Amino acid sequence: MERGRADRAKRNVALTSVGAAIFLTGIKLAVGVGSGSLGLLAEAAQSGVDFVAATLTFLAIRISSREADATHQFGHARFENVSALFQTGLLLATCAWIAWQAVSRLVSGGHHVDPSIWTFAVLVLSITVDWWRSRALSRAARAHGSQALEADALHFSADIWSSLVVLVGLALVWLGDRLGTAPILASADSLAALVVAAIVAVVTARLGWSAVQALVDAAPAGLSEEVADIARSIPGVENVSRVRARRLGAWAFFDLHIAAPRTIAFTQAHAVADQVEDAIKARFGDADIVVHVEPAPSPRETTTDRVHLAARQRGLRVHDVRVREIAEGIEVDLHVELDPALPLARAHAIASELEDAIRAVDRDVHAVNTHLEAPIPGVQARIDITYERPEFVEVVRAIADRVVGAGATHSIRVFVSGAERDVVLHVALDSTIGVEDAHLISARIERALRAEVPLVGSILIHAEPEA
């Protein structure tokens, strides 16, 4: 919806410029023929080119607003650049005609020019209209990033200066007629026409170069560096190794490679890439952005992070990672989850390879101790016997309350499979204690239950702040 409003705004400002160019061409041509002013006829010719250019701009904007399709997979925005390049050809032809006419008149001794009040009035009106259109087109070009509108604005802006030159030339001709003794002043109109041609040529060179640069995918100056700075400002981006940028009409395309911490999960890396895209779009609008994420070491990663990284690289799951500092360096304990069906020899080889990998990824690690564990796969079938064994529930409650305080234990559940009984219970603890203290209290409850209650299987203790 936002893009549709932008396209309509661009078309409206382009269509208004078509009308303004038609109006200016008509009055300049009529008064130029009547006065015999080559400068004013040159102005009429340039306004005629403006009309063609404005019409091309309007058509190019209509085409460029179409959605991407099977034959134009990056959209139709290039039509704006093609329009600008075609306008370059029109302007060059105009420059050649104006210069040829001006030189011919200078060589032949000039041509009678009869400037009147209408001649000056038309030029003043032309300057006013050109100023109005140039401002409107420039604002729209900046707001919507349109090269076609920017080119059109350059046309009208150049008209302002060329009209001023012609105005001065005609004023000198008028002055020469009144003095009757200054032949150089009689040629001022032709000289002014040459200046107009020079101005148009300069604008043509700028416009043509800009269009060619866009068509050959030249990177806009400073754009890649600005995008890289935006990406580096996002938390989680360690580095930006490459940025490629180009513009297709009003659209910007960015392709960048960023480095994210190697220890974070895939979903986290994807979230970092999304944040980079959002930040670039906030600066450049609805751009087309491709972000490639590469893993990289981070100065913030810990030994525990590197242990999990080494495990993930081998498709293993680990838990209960403990890191201790000893005289020789760092020692790590961890539980490695392996397929219960694996032979012990193969399981031990996998754990040994993991130990070597951990020492390789973290040179500070001196020793690694692994505990082999066979996690129970899938969903387990258990029977809830909580209400059938109230005496067992009360034993569990009494043991837990003895550790944490009377009335702290609640929501006890008991499940059975075979001879073992699995226990789930909630305990309310002081809300100001830390997680480590809460874990230590839970461990004390678990040790007490295993010591005093026979046939206890798994135990899950949920610690929560007391009300």
pLDDT at 311 exceeding the cut of 70: yes
pLDDT, tens only, 265-300: 889 999 999 999 999 998 887 788 999 999 999 888
pLDDT tier, 345 (very low <50, low <70, confident <90, very high otherwise): very high
pLDDT of residue 334: 96
In terms of phi and psi (left: phi > 0; alpha: psi -120 to 50; beta: otherwise), the region of 304 is alpha
pLDDT tier, 4 (very low <50, low <70, confident <90, very high otherwise): low
pLDDT of residue 75: 65
Mean of pLDDT values over 383-392 = 93
pLDDT at 211 exceeding the cut of 90: no
pLDDT of residue 359: 94
pLDDT tier, 111 (very low <50, low <70, confident <90, very high otherwise): very low
pLDDT of residue 118: 66
Least confident range of 59-63, 310-314, 315-319: 59-63
What domains lie within the chain, and their CATH numbers? 2-215 (1.20.1510.10), 223-296 (3.30.70.1350), 303-373 (3.30.70.1350), 383-465 (3.30.70.1350)
Least confident range of 3-17, 105-119, 396-410, 411-425: 105-119
pLDDT, tens only, 355-386: 999 999 998 999 999 999 988 767 778 899 99
Spatial contact of 241 and 247, defined as CB atoms under 8 Å apart: no
pLDDT at 315 exceeding the cut of 80: yes
**DSSP for 98-152, written as a single string:** HHHHHHHHHHTT-------HHHHHHHHHHHHHHHHHHHHHHHHHHHHT-HHHHHH
pLDDT, tens only, 217-238: 766 778 889 999 999 999 999 9
Phi, psi of 342 (to 5 degrees): -70, 140
pLDDT, tens only, 30-80: 766 766 666 567 667 767 777 777 787 777 777 766 766 677 766 666 777
Spatial contact of 63 and 85, defined as CB atoms under 8 Å apart: no
Longest Cα–Cα distance of the chain, Å, equals 129
pLDDT at 2 exceeding the cut of 60: no
pLDDT of residue 374: 87
Spatial contact of 297 and 262, defined as CB atoms under 8 Å apart: yes
What token pair was written down for 412? 């006890």
pLDDT at 149 exceeding the cut of 60: yes
Phi, psi of 419 (to 5 degrees): -90, -20
Least confident range of 212-216, 284-288, 359-363, 460-464: 212-216
pLDDT of residue 170: 66
Please compute, for residue 359, the number of CA atoms within 13 A of its CA located in the half-sphere on the CB side: 13
Distance CA 127, CA 132 (A): 9
Task: Indicate the average pLDDT of the chain.
Answer: 81
Mean of pLDDT values over 395-414 = 95
Distance CA 452, CA 449 (A): 5
pLDDT of residue 85: 77
pLDDT of residue 445: 96
| Number of neighbouring beta carbons within 10 Å of residue 29 | 18
Mean of pLDDT values over 123-131 = 79
Computed on alpha carbons and rounded to an integer, the radius of gyration of the chain in Å comes to 40
HEC string of 216-263 equals CCCCCCCHHHHHHHHHHCCCCCCEEEEEEEEEECCEEEEEEEEEEECC
When mean pLDDT is compared over 45-59, 81-95, 345-359, the highest value belongs to 345-359
First to last CA, the chain: 50
pTM, rounded to two decimals = 0.60
In terms of phi and psi (left: phi > 0; alpha: psi -120 to 50; beta: otherwise), the region of 302 is beta
pLDDT of residue 250: 59
pLDDT of residue 1: 47
Share of the chain above pLDDT 70, in %: 78
pLDDT, tens only, 245-255: 887 655 778 99
